[in-house]
Amino acid sequence: MTNPGTMTTPTILEATAKVEQKVIELRHHLHRHPELSFQEEQTAALVQRELALLPLSDLTPGVYGTGVTALLQGNGSDPRTILLRADMDALPIQEDTGLPFSSEVPGVMHACGHDGHTAILLGAAMVLSELRAHLPGSVKLVFQPAEETEGGAEGMIREGVLENPHVDAAVGLHLWGSVPRGVVEYRSGPLMAAPDVFSIRVIGKGGHAALPHQCIDPVPMAAAIIQQFQTLIARRVDPLESVVLSVCRLEAGTAFNVIPDEVLLEGTVRTLNQEVREAIPGMIEDVLRQVTGIHGGSYHLDYSFRYPPLVNDPAITDLVRKAAEDVLGADRVRKAKQPNMGGEDFAYFARAVPSSFFYLGIAPSEEDLVRHHHPTFRIDDTVLKDGIAVLCRSVFDFFASPLAE
Ligand SMILES: [Zn+2]
Ligand SMILES: [Zn+2]
């Protein structure tokens, strides 16, 4: 039996260098053939084909649709299991990068970097397989569908990916356009927001525009509601808590001289704190009740909680930070200044087990940012090896740590 502490970073980097070219080719292939959420059939088939070449057990396709999982068993001296996760879905965007390996699917593009995440995790699987004699515990590899839409992570957890064997910790990464190329950003505690959504029907009574007194006009009600929402966040929420409430869609009326029956308001609420998150729908309802009450109208509110806030575990985050410093050098590792209000369904893993999610930079420079979900989004292939090495170093360090014992 080998002491995991003896797994040196040069050995990890050497094993990573051996697979780098293949991982880049896999990434280009995935980029050419992007698939939307829950349609990741070819992607999952490729993942399966690659995993089948490795000494893994329990290679399971079809988890919550197109998800794939596999287990790399270590030498058995440590009963713990760490989970590594990648997402596989693309977006309904027409690519405009001019890259030689641009998307061959009209209107579909890997514009968030999930092709890179999938390739990095395949690379990590190759490296860990190569070094498995030195691996004391097990590594569960999770390739999930539908991060961009429905939250494939939640479905996979419901189907049992955190059991058999029981998962003790989880690590994931996102290639990130606002961090310089090859730099890792970590953050303990809240990292990303809960992206909840609402749809409101403001209900009045339509009629002739010249006879408002015979109608209940939903348009001024909607206007008052939108105004009140901003005051609500400013006055009823602790100013030290982060909340965004954006009304993004407004639909009313069909003619300049007809008061409509209803107005539709749709938008999103972003929060970092679960308690605050749960309080917001009640506050929204207070505004709706009051405003529609004054005008004699009514309302219908559909409020749906989507991904939870992504909250990183301090101990696992510290472990990932140290692993990144080891692999990349301390000058390429920094703390994220603040959380951001985007959502990420890795949050479901982080809610269930001690976890850490980190950013791996792809921006050409501090000023020259790469926009996600944009037709010109692009990844620098040189960072793929960095992602692989940081994940593998984190795995070995996890088994060398007393965490969760
Ligand atoms: Zn995205
Ligand atoms: Zn993403």
Strands 355-363 and 184-186: antiparallel
Cα(132)–Cα(157) distance, integer angstroms? 26
| pTM of the predicted model as reported, rounded to 2 decimal places | 0.91
348: alpha, beta or left, given left = phi > 0 and alpha = psi -120 to 50? alpha
Catalytic member of 147, 185, 217, 344: 147
Distance 254 CA to ligand 2 centre (A): 38
Find all residues with CB under 8 Å of 3, minimum gap 6, and list them.
Answer: none
From CA 174, how far away is CA 319, in angstroms rounded?
17
Question: Residue 88: nearest ligand to its CA?
Answer: 2
Mean pLDDT of 209-213: 96
Q: At what angle do helices 384-400 and 114-130 cross, to 10 degrees?
A: 50
Per residue in 127-186, pLDDT (tens digit) is 999 999 999 999 999 999 999 988 899 999 999 999 999 999 999 999 999 999 999 999
Residue 123 structure tokens: 């690379």
Ligand nearest to the CA of 344: 2
Please report, as a single letter, which amino acid is at residue 394: S
- With a cut of 90, say whether residue 331 has pLDDT above it: yes
Cα of 154 to ligand 2 centre, how many Å? Answer: 15
- How many Å lie between the centroid of ligand 1 and the Cα of residue 290? 37
394-403 mean pLDDT? 91
Q: How far is CA 381 from the centre of its chain?
A: 20
Q: Residue 344 has which token pair?
A: 């990420």
pLDDT tops 80 at residue 125 = yes
- Region 32-37 average pLDDT: 97
The answer to whether residue 3 scores a pLDDT higher than 90 is: no
Q: pLDDT at position 151, please?
A: 86
Torsion of CA 16, 402, 349, 123, to 10 degrees: 10
Q: Are strands 189-192 and 258-259 parallel, antiparallel or unpaired?
A: unpaired
Catalytic residue chosen out of the listed positions 78, 89, 130, 168: 89
Annotated active-site residue 50? The verdict is: no
Note the ligand closest to the C-alpha atom of 346.
2
Known catalytic residue at 147: yes
Would you give the DSSP letter of residue 369? Answer: P
At position 198, the amino acid (one-letter code) is: F
Q: What is the Å distance from ligand 1's center to 308 Cα?
A: 16
> What does the alpha-carbon distance between residue 226 and residue 216 come to, in Å, rounded to a whole number?
18
Average pLDDT, the chain: 95
- Expressed in angstroms and rounded, the spacing between residue 358 Cα and the centre of ligand 2 is 12
Examine the pLDDT at 1 and tell me if it is beyond 80: no
Residue 93 Cα to ligand 2 middle (Å): 14
Structure tokens at 46: 């490729």
Return the higher-pLDDT residue of 36 and 365.
36
Region of poorest pLDDT, from 147-156, 219-228, 313-322: 147-156
**What's the pLDDT score for residue 75?**
85
Rg over alpha carbons for the chain, rounded to the nearest Å, is 24
pLDDT bin (cut points 50, 70, 90) of residue 402 is confident
Q: Output the CA–CA distances (angstroms, integers) from residue 127 to 5, 29, 197, 213, in the order listed.
A: 17, 20, 40, 74
* Residues 255-285: b if buried by 16+ CB within 10 A, e if exposed: eeeebbbbbbbebbbbbbbeebbebbbebbe
Sorting pLDDT into bands at 50, 70 and 90, what band is 4?
A: very low
| Domains along the chain with CATH numbers | 4-191+310-400 (3.40.630.10), 194-304 (3.30.70.360)
Question: Mean pLDDT, to the nearest integer, of 237-243?
Answer: 93
Q: Give the distance (Å) from ligand 1 centre to CA of residue 201.
A: 29
Average pLDDT over residues 116-132: 98
Q: Across residues 365-393, what is the average pLDDT?
A: 96
Closest listed ligand to the CA of 115: 2
Mean pLDDT of 216-223: 98
Confidence at residue 150, expressed as pLDDT on a 0 to 100 scale: 83
Mean pLDDT of 83-98: 97
Torsion from C-alpha of 67, 80, 310, 322, nearest 10 degrees:
-120
Helix or strand (DSSP H, E) at 275: helix 274-295
CA geometry: angle 267, 378, 41, nearest 5 deg: 75
C-alpha 385: how far from its chain's center? 21
